[in-house]
Amino acid sequence: QVQLVESGGGSVQAGGSLRLSCAASGRAFSSYAMGWFRQAPGKEREYVGIFRWNGGNTIYADSVKGRFTISGDNAKNTVYLQMNSLKPEDTAIYYCATGRATILLPPNYDMDYWGKGTLVTVSS
């Protein structure tokens, strides 16, 4: 049974940093892409970044490029989202997901498994 569990969310002031973790289990995740997504109040889900275990280029949304970094620990089946220079507009529920990620379109972005999310709140 595939499970994805996000952790690391919380409250932080603008300009601060936070690292989210996604612990994965239940399949050979190295065969699939993993990604981070977020949904802010009143908005649809958007992608933050797509990570590939094969070492291919990680794709980031323009809104977070240069501030957020995705990394993975294959031995631990864990993917991280390092968030720096956080802004109030980064406030959202952040989700980890895995799948083919061949289509970057909301709401599901061609991902077949999703975590339940972790809340990140950025205040001024």
Provide DSSP, the chain.
--EEEEE--EEEETT--EEEEEEEESS-GGGSEEEEEEE-TTS--EEEEEEETTSPPPEE-TTTTTTEEEEEEGGGTEEEEEE-S--GGG-EEEEEEEE------TTTTTEEEE---EEEEEE-
- pLDDT above 90 coverage of the chain, percent: 82
**What local confidence, expressed as pLDDT, does residue 14 receive?**
98
Residue scoring higher pLDDT (123 or 29): 123
Q: What is the pLDDT of residues 33-71, one digit of tens each?
A: 999 999 999 999 999 999 988 878 899 999 999 999 999
pLDDT at 54: 80
